[in-house]
Amino acid sequence: KMTMVKMYAGGVGYTVEGKGFDPTEGGFRNAETGAEAGGDMVVKSSLLAALLCCNTTLNKVTDAETGEERYEPKGNSSEAPIVVAARKVGLSEDVSQDYPRVLEVPFSSSRKMMLTVSDVSDRPELCPGGMQIESGAKYLTVCKGAPNFILDYCTEQLMEDGSVQKMSEEEKAKVLSVVDEYSSMALRVLAIATRSMQKLPFAADDEDVTTDQKFQACRSGLRLLGLVASIDPDRDGVPESVELARGAGIRVVMITGDYLKTAIAIAHNVKILQKGDDDTSAAVDCACLRPDDEYLQDADMDKLTSSVRVFARARPEDKLEIVKSLQRQGLVTAMTGDGVNDAPALNQANIGVAM
């Protein structure tokens, strides 16, 4: 069960207590002082903004066999930790009904983020005890996704006292160091950023304006609210399966959209990477496959894929090129995938396993 365990907001680190999907257990504490922090302005602001960019709900259900009640999320697994954590500070996902959504751009492997625009007319603050909304602002853009991508569009940052600070390169580096810290703990990290707008930066009634054009118009000039970090436990039996495959002469390779440090930590946990491996050569960011957005020549690509076991921040087309490269080396490839973007690589592989 994916569970939020860390948050960074306003320059402050927080720990999130509790287990599983039960929002009645645990809460937020300042990581440095240990003080209860569920009411902190940056915590509530980050979580409410995140809820405005979620489509997942949390309900109490009764187990048909045991009769026991439990909480069960319905929707995206990466959003479930946000919904559960928000409930811990008194924010229900139903609150989003009070902020009519006027635009939704879903997450994609190329955008690396989800974007929504909600109506916040006549609101002096985001929520009771939350950040101030600029006077005259009618709409609020919220972006939720990969920190390194979202930070590229952030020009300011919400601070612990409610003030807004310019996002300098030094500040971005500080935030990315926190991302690295969380990622090295095998946590999946999402950034939450917002932008207040007096009007939509595109003609809402113009049917010729594409979704990507709307996305590009709304994602600029963002304000970073915070980072949320969740643990996604390894499924039982995975390390044993990897070692069994290795013993049978099968090289197991992980191709993931995760941040590189997250991917390395997970790969070590499930034995894809072993003690003594050089992480700098055994694991790579897929950007190195396509410098200047052009894929390497076949010989260079084949040299790289012949030894690398972890490919991070992969695009769907990267998976396909990796499979082709392995096949050029005379290897029989089996590809597993659980999303529609895995389909081309599954089709290209000698053995495609849709999960």
Burial label, 285 (beta-carbon count in 10 A; 0-12, 13-18, 19+): middle
Q: What distance in Å separates the CA atoms of residue 235 and residue 266, rounded to the nearest whole number?
A: 11
Q: What distance in Å separates the CA atoms of residue 235 and residue 37, rounded to the nearest whole number?
A: 32
Spatial CA neighbour of 120 closest among 212, 62, 45: 45
Residue 193 in contact with residue 143, Cβ under 8 Å? Answer: yes
Q: What pTM was computed for the model?
A: 0.84
DSSP H helical segments within the chain, as ranges? 41-51, 80-88, 147-151, 169-183, 211-218, 238-247, 260-269, 279-282, 298-305, 316-328, 343-348
DSSP three-state, residue 342: helix
Q: What distance in Å separates the CA atoms of residue 100 and residue 118, rounded to the nearest whole number?
A: 5
Residue 146 in contact with residue 259, Cβ under 8 Å? Answer: yes
Q: What distance in Å separates the CA atoms of residue 82 and residue 74, rounded to the nearest whole number?
A: 13
Angle at 59 between CA 58 and CA 63, to 5 degrees: 130
Residue-wise pLDDT tens digits, 196-233 = 999 999 988 888 999 999 999 999 999 999 999 999 87
For the chain, which ranges sit under pLDDT 50? none
State the pLDDT at residue 111: 87
Q: What distance in Å separates the CA atoms of residue 355 and residue 343, rounded to the nearest whole number?
A: 11
Angle at 127 between CA 124 and CA 129, to 5 degrees: 95
Q: What distance in Å separates the CA atoms of residue 216 and residue 248, rounded to the nearest whole number?
A: 48
Q: What distance in Å separates the CA atoms of residue 283 and residue 290, rounded to the nearest whole number?
A: 16
Residues 6+ apart with CB under 8 A from 250: none
Q: What distance in Å separates the CA atoms of residue 315 and residue 312, rounded to the nearest whole number?
A: 9
Residues 6+ apart with CB under 8 A from 135: none
Q: What distance in Å separates the CA atoms of residue 228 and residue 58, rounded to the nearest whole number?
A: 18
Residue-wise pLDDT tens digits, 309-329 = 999 999 889 999 999 999 999
Spatial CA neighbour of 300 closest among 311, 292, 309, 291: 291
The two beta strands, 334-337 and 310-312, are: unpaired
Q: What distance in Å separates the CA atoms of residue 96 and residue 1, rounded to the nearest whole number?
A: 24
DSSP structural state of residue 98: G
Residue 79 in contact with residue 53, Cβ under 8 Å? Answer: no
